[in-house]
Structure 1
Amino acid sequence: MNARVFRDAYGVPQLQAGDPLALVYLQGLNAAQDRAWQLELERRRFLGTSAAFLGAEAAPWDIFARQARLADTAQRCFEALDDETREWITAYVEGVNHGLPGGSQRAPEFAETGLTLQKWEPWAPLGIWLAIHVLFAGFPTKLWRTHVARHLGDDALELFSSEGPHTAGSNGWLIPGSMTASGQAIVAGDPHRYIESPGVYQQVRLTCPEYDVLGLAVPGIPGLAHFGHTGSVAWAITNAMADYQDLFSEQLRRTSSGVEALGPDGWKPADVHTEVVEVAGYDAVEIELVETERGPVIMDGISLRYPPRVTSRLGFEVLPKLLRATTVADVDAALDGWVEPVNVVLAADTAGGLLHRTAGLVPRRHAANKLRVVPAWEAGHQWDGWHDPMPRATVDGPAVMANARELAAPLGVEFAAPHRSRRIRELVTERSDWSVDEMPHIHTDTFLGSATSILDLLADLDDLSPEAVALRTELLGWDRRMDAASTTASSYAALRKALTTRLADHFAILENAECPEIFVPWMDPLTHVSYALENLLSADLPDINVSWLAREALEEVAVRKPRPPWGETHQLSPLHALRGPVFAPDEEPFDLGLSGDHHCVMSTSSLPGLTDVCIRASAARYAWDLADRSASGWVVPLGASGVLGDPHHHDQLPLWLRGELAPVLGDLVREDRTYTQSVEGFGAVRIVEADPDRDLDLIHEWVTADRASFWGMGELSRAEIAATYEFLDSVPTHHVYLVHVDDVPAALLQTYDPQADPVGASYEIQAGDIGLHLLIAPGTPRPGFTGTLLKVLAEFVFLHLGHPRVVVDPDIRNTRAIDRFHRTGFTLGPEVKITQPDGTTKTAQLAFLTREQFLS
């Protein structure tokens, strides 16, 4: 099967190839074509080289990435993989490398920044994964807690216990077959992340003879790590909110031989070297990188210990196993090898299997490690193995995962408030005949359970102005739905903001914490107060009159007129590294006002006290139907393409704003994979798939000519040739192309899967092999014509179609063809006898050319 790309009405790629290696190569190629800027940006981020083209704003991240040794850790993890997984990842990277030149030409950011392409390292996907998730577990919160304890004492730590403002959460739910109309399970939900342009998830379907899987891929990462449906089993994840990274306070000293760090067993040598971070428009920054026995030092005197650095494992062996999964048991067994990030997983299969478990590596260690920075020199803070077994639960009804203190409670410290989890359970248990097309009813629920903490304060206030009394009456009668059109929802948000800022003023002592710039967002008291507001309002705060603060806030908001609807201020603002717009210059923008709020099931997060603008929300929504995969739905905030101005850059945005899902298997259009290449001194080459009807006259003329005697079709009638090529067009294993040079038909190229051809019985087939037959058009080509054309065809087969090796089988008597292949770089194999479908026998000279040989 040659590689084929189909796209649905939203441009979502559906990729087909002959085997897993060819398919993952095609996935990398496609990702590079659709998301070139995103891929190269993420690669430069894990390398710590993004400031070289983004400027000073990116320098703090680059310094951290170098200090945390992300690139070196990724390489270690790659080298520790088994051979099969390394080969699979390498094939993806080869696809990326071959797709980036074309993809970068479409992405305007490359020209805007002057960014030039570099060849990807085989471990680049692992580095990208690390860079995306290294802050996922929120270790900077330990800097915040240490800061709070220093100024307010240990008892104050509980005041700010909540999911942090930069913690990625998600919703997920599993409805068992006993509660669905079909009798089969439904798995649905939505991951909550920063809404970026392009988005963090890419919808894709991956098909080869071994499996057929659709789901949400992370561009730059092969396979479908988080959300997938194989037809017989579907899975989804949320952030477990586990704590698996530690910070150690280090005592360092310089000696004549270098740097030493004090540990429980005394002074030990530390690894030290310097690197230079280039910054566009500024002088380069030289940094000293220090790594102790605990881990790399990421700020003055503080080291970071994280599982991939300790174990040289990320869990990427799991990715190809998930694609092959057919049952819940397969998914479960695969996830035993998962490392980072730590997730809660829901899965269901068509045989009734259900799964609810956690997956990942969480170290066993002292409880203090989970709370704050701990002294490296004190005994008792070392890691002592891993949590095993990881928590799991029997699924005997609807299962929910929404980052609350539930299944993963033994693994973490701070969890999401229970509002989303409770509300999903309430909604799911309303009925027992759910269908997959009703999942948006849950996705888009805007009830705000956390509003109670503020509204209860209002009920007891007295001596209010008439305006404040009227606003209080309105708020207490409110249905607590954060709908975009609701002015009451807007008033509530304004009241919350006013109360938050007043309360934060009482914690001014926590302002201006000293830390590297990258950790400043985690050290902001106003942000922490806004997210811990419920805790603070219910806590005993003897020095703070919370009721008085609520009165002041209510009076402040009550006099504001007019009050806008919630969606007018609660606007989506996707993040772009260059602050690029959502809409192209020639487009008419439309309203990006949102319903929902942080604690709603429709989680659209802002920073109360700072802004109503939303930058974190559903990075995708999905609903997997185990009764009929084609009935499943999905949507992303923008679109399949990362290129501004492309029709599929944000064509899903209206659906996403309305809370609707697109079908996962809509009408498909085969992507025109016409291959073109201009060769100086030779001409413009164009390779197109032949049409048996349109091109029959030309094909008949060529294959029946005397010079085509070795094709064995000279005696066939026009009708017989038509039937032959109609058959070849109908099967996925054989393909016929017309090769044009300067718009003149010049050659007939036929490719085939050796496993579906008699030649396959004559040698040991390797994964991804493709057979090739070439017929040069009648006429006398100019000197060097065939050799040059063969090089173009090799690029077409290796880079465009994505095959790692070509086999040819010219008749042993066709010495000119054999010599030509040999001179082009083919390695001659054995002479073999091949029995043709008509019973005749052909003695052939096999010859092979690999992609590596061709590109070397």
Structure 2
Amino acid sequence: MAEDHVGDRNGIGVSVSIEVYRDAWGVPHLRAADEDELAFAQGRVTARDRAWQVEVERHRAQGTTAAFLGAAELGWDTFARRARLADTARRCFERLEREDAGTAAWVRAYADGVNDGLADGAARAPEFAETGLAPGRWEPWTPLAVWLTTHILFAGFPTKLWREEVARRLGEEWTELFATDGPGTSGSNGWLVAGGRTASGAALVAGDPHRFIEAPGVYQQIRLACPAYDVVGIAVPGIPGLAHFGHTGPVAWAITNAMSDYQDLYRERLRRLPDGAVEAYGPEGWRPAAAHTETIEVAGGEPVAVEVVETDRGPVIIGVDDEPAAATAPADAAEDRGAVWESVALRYPPRVTGELGFEVLPALLRARTVADVDAALDGWVEPVNVVLAADTEGGLLHRVAGRVPVRHRANTLRIVPAWDPAHAWEAAPAPLPRAAVDGHAVMANARGIAAPLGVEFAPPHRADRIDALLGASAEWTPETITAVHRDTDNRSAAPLLAAVARLGGAADGRPPAGASPAA
């Protein structure tokens, strides 16, 4: 279908002519007069289709979900506020406005579109009435906040907390025993087959993202067209453009998570002064820490006050309220300067640099060659991804994209002492690996080109299996390569099947003879 729509752009009622066509699967195909109007259209159709999803994500980013979902969400809201997710998004958007006004306007247009479509989308989503939630207003920085919130737990700092608990309960020697490289884990897949090994001579790029079962899903199929480009791919609701999977016609790209480690946890020593101010003990001794109090509204309950503290390392996410002394005071701590307690601060690249890499998103839409994709991805920040891309001129790309700090190896494993200068980040980020494509390339969260940037990876059986399947033919087509997507061989199941067989079962999964159906 086509529709002409007069929308509200920045409160001035600018007329926008947007063509919307939905195919047999309901996938929206959007066409507009220019890139900003197209971003507005994408925001508008996303709000109409995914109103509840995008509004929940906005509230998650702001730490306000308890206001309509109740006290069960207090844990997340407290973390979101203490991690400074919304404030970091504001900082990153302000920097984007200073350094790339065009991209900032494009993101603003998307937020305007969301605001224009939210009321209609909310009217069709029963969750709003069930929770009493009224659709709110998206700010220009809200898409950046949603992106941060979507990926803040991706990079592994929860694993460092897990290792800390393992060390505390079992001993230091056990900390690296429990790793995701174990045989029971799985993750996303992707592969690239060069033109020399396809029936048509054109390269094939496949993305096979594996996600937890989600309703609605984290991805949104969409087509975006304007005079500058015509792109089809998978968007993240709440984010303009097509970040992870896209096909512009001449070039296509796909990603998997690189399993890189780019967030650090610091053990902080804090003390409160008589006037209520907070200080943190770092490499240069005691220094002021930023501190303020925020109030979380709770549906069906009393408001909760949350203190937010940030040291020179980063926002304190654990142990803000652990007074009195939970740590031994340093020797230079005067007795009248308050009791000392320990906490944990999170350091992550966008909070440090004020960069989130959103300028990459419109550049990807305009890409015509692998070189364009490669150049755009030089500005990528997070999450850190392995990227495969190919173009119609024979160009191939296999690289890591993202921002990984250079620091002491101990930072990548555990919580490290904030007062030890050995654990500071170096000014320049780590170099990003890349590799040539020899016939085909595979990515599956396993150790590979991203190995120097991480600690734990997915086991190799999926990557090995895909590699073997792709190596079995030199005449691949889009139709025949679906066999790789549909393959169910799971080499990690072999030890389990062997154990079942030893216990009297059958390797094909049937129960032992004589076993009851309920066994």
SS of the residue corresponding to residue 420 of structure 2 reads: coil
More displaced stretch, 383-392 vs 320-329: 383-392
SS where residue 182 of structure 1 aligns?
A: coil
Counterpart in 1 of 2:36?
Answer: 21
Aligned length: 477
- 2:90 equivalent to 1:75: yes
Match of 1:371 in 2: 413
The secondary structure found in structure 2 opposite 1:356 is: strand
How has the CA–CA distance of structure 1 residues 205 and 77 changed in structure 2, closer, same or farther, with 3 Å as cutoff?
same
- CA gap of 1:128–1:163, structure 2 versus 1, over 3 A, is farther
Matches within 5 A, 1:274-423: 274-300=293-319, 301-423=343-465
Residues 141 and 164, structure 1, Cα contact 8 Å, conserved in 2: no
Q: Does 1:562 align with 2:500?
A: no
Q: Which amino acid aligns with 2:23?
A: D
Which of 227, 241, 254 lines up with 2:245 in the alignment? 227
In the TM superposition, 1:793-804 aligns within 5 A as none
Q: Distance in 2 between matches of 1:185 and 1:69?
A: 43
Q: Secondary structure at the match of 2:176?
A: helix
Instruction: For 2:261 and 2:267, locate their aligned partners in 1 and report how far apart those are by CA, in whole Å.
Output: 18
The alpha carbon displacement at 1:406 in A equals 0.7
Q: Distance in 1 between matches of 2:514 and 2:165?
A: 38
1:244 is matched with 262
Structure 1 residues 163 and 140: CA distance shift in structure 2, 3 A:
farther
Match for residue 178 of structure 1? Answer: 196
Secondary structure, aligned partner of 1:225: coil
What letter is aligned with 2:517?
A: P
- Aligned mates of 1:280, 1:406 — CA distance in 2: 47
1:272 and 2:314 correspond = no
CA contact (8 A) 2:115 2:137 kept: yes
Change in Cα spacing, 1:166 to 1:74, as seen in structure 2 (3 Å) is farther
Amino acid across the alignment from 2:147: W
User: Alpha-carbon deviation of 1:199?
Assistant: 1.1
Q: 1:139 maps to what in 2?
A: 157
**Which residue matches 1:218?**
236
| CA distance 1:165–1:9, shift in 2 (3 Å) | farther
Q: Give the Cα separation in 1 of the matches to 2:481 and 2:143.
A: 33
Q: Give the match for residue 37 of structure 1.
A: 52
Aligned to 1:228, the other structure's residue is in SS state strand
Aligned residues: percent identity?
Answer: 62
Whether 1:6 aligns to 2:25 is no
The answer (yes or no) to whether the contact 1:138–1:164 under 8 Å persists in 2 is no
**Using the alignment, how far apart are the partners of 1:89 and 1:562 within structure 2?**
57
Matched residues in 1 for 2:32 and 2:180: separation?
Answer: 46
Deviation of 1:168 (Å)? 8.8
Residue type of the partner of 2:516? Answer: K
**1:189 touches 1:443 (CA, 8 Å); kept in 2?**
no
Alignment of 1:574-589 (within 5 A): none
> Kindly tell me: are residues 50 and 83 of structure 1, through their superposed partners in 2, closer, same or farther at Cα, counting changes over 3 Å?
same
**TM-score between the two structures when normalised by the length of structure 1:** 0.54
Is the 2:252–2:391 contact (alpha carbons within 8 Å) kept by the matching residues of 1? yes
Q: 2: CA distance between counterparts of 1:167 and 1:121?
A: 38
Deviation at 1:161, TM superposition (A): 1.7
Structure 1 residue 232: deviation in Å? 0.2
Work out whether residues 163 and 176 of structure 2, in 8 Å CA contact, stay in contact via their aligned partners in 1.
Answer: no
Cα pair 1:28 1:94 within 8 Å, conserved = yes
3-state SS in 1 of match to 2:209 = strand
d(CA) in 2 for partners of 1:168, 1:429: 22
Question: In the alignment, which residue of structure 2 is the partner of 1:683?
Answer: none
1 CA distance for matches of 2:186 and 2:306? 30
Equivalent residue runs for 1:309-708 within 5 Å: 309-456=351-498, 468-469=503-504, 471=505, 474-475=506-507, 478=508, 487-488=509-510, 560-562=515-517
* Partner in structure 1 of residue 325 of structure 2: none
Counterpart residue number, 2:338: none
| Alpha-carbon spacing, 1:163–1:30, altered in 2? closer, same or farther (3 Å) | farther
- The CA distance in 2 between the partners of 1:78 and 1:201, in whole Å, is 23
1:257-299 Cα distance to aligned partner (Å, 9 max, x none): 5100001110110000001111211222111000000000001
Residue number in structure 2 paired with 1:256 = 274
Task: Give the AA of the match of 2:293.
Answer: T
Q: Does 1:188 align with 2:143?
A: no
Letter aligned with residue 45 of structure 1: R
RMSD: 1.9
Q: Output the amino acid matched with 2:471.
A: T
Q: CA deviation at 1:355?
A: 0.1
Distance 1:351 1:285 in 2: 59
Alpha-carbon spacing, 1:392–1:174, altered in 2? closer, same or farther (3 Å): same
8 A contact 2:185–2:458 mirrored in 1: no
Question: Which consecutive unaligned segments of at least 5 residues does structure 2 have?
Answer: 1-15, 320-342
Using CA pairs under 8 Å that are at least 6 residues apart, name the structure with larger relative contact order, 1 or 2.
2
Would you identify which runs of 4 or more consecutive aligned residues in structure 1 move more than 3 Å?
A: 163-169, 454-459, 557-560
| AA at the equivalent of 1:440 | T
Q: Is the 8 A contact 2:235 2:243 kept in 1?
A: yes
1:378 Cα deviation after fit: 1.6
Q: Secondary structure at the match of 1:436?
A: coil
* TM-score, length basis structure 2: 0.89
Over 3 Å counting, the alpha-carbon distance change for 1:559 and 1:127 in structure 2 is: farther
1:97 aligned counterpart, secondary structure:
helix
CA distance in 1, matches of 2:481, 2:62: 40
Q: Alignment partner of 2:165: what SS? A: helix
Q: Distance in 2 between matches of 1:292 and 1:164?
A: 36
Helix, strand or coil for the counterpart of 2:238? coil
Taking the aligned partners of 1:343 and 1:8, their CA distance within structure 2 comes to 31
The letter of the residue matching 1:344 is: V
Q: Which residue of structure 2 lines up, in the alignment, with residue 61 of structure 1?
A: 76
Residue 110 of structure 2 aligns to which amino acid in structure 1? Y
- Contact 2:264/2:412 (<8 A) preserved: yes
| Deviation readout 1:610-649 (Å, 9 max, x if unpaired) | xxxxxxxxxxxxxxxxxxxxxxxxxxxxxxxxxxxxxxxx
Give the secondary-structure state (helix, strand or coil) at the position aligned to 2:462: helix
1:87 matched residue in structure 2? 105
Q: CA deviation at 1:451?
A: 2.1
What corresponds to 1:204 in structure 2? Answer: 222
- Contact 1:75 / 1:123 at 8 angstroms: preserved in 2? yes
1:198 Cα deviation from its structure 2 partner: 1.2
Cα deviation per residue 1:659-697 (whole Å; 9 max; x = unaligned)? xxxxxxxxxxxxxxxxxxxxxxxxxxxxxxxxxxxxxxx
Displacement of 1:84 = 0.7
SS in 2 for 1:160: coil
Partner of 1:627: none
Distance 1:559 1:414, change over 3 A: farther
| Structure 1: tracts of 5 or more residues without a match | 462-467, 479-486, 492-556, 565-856
Counterpart residue identity of residue 15, structure 1: L
**Offset of residue 180 of structure 1:** 0.8
Deviation for aligned residue 1:158:
2.6
What displacement does 1:63 show? 0.7
Q: Please give the alpha-carbon distance, in whole angstroms, between the structure 1 residues aligned to 2:35 and 2:180.
A: 43
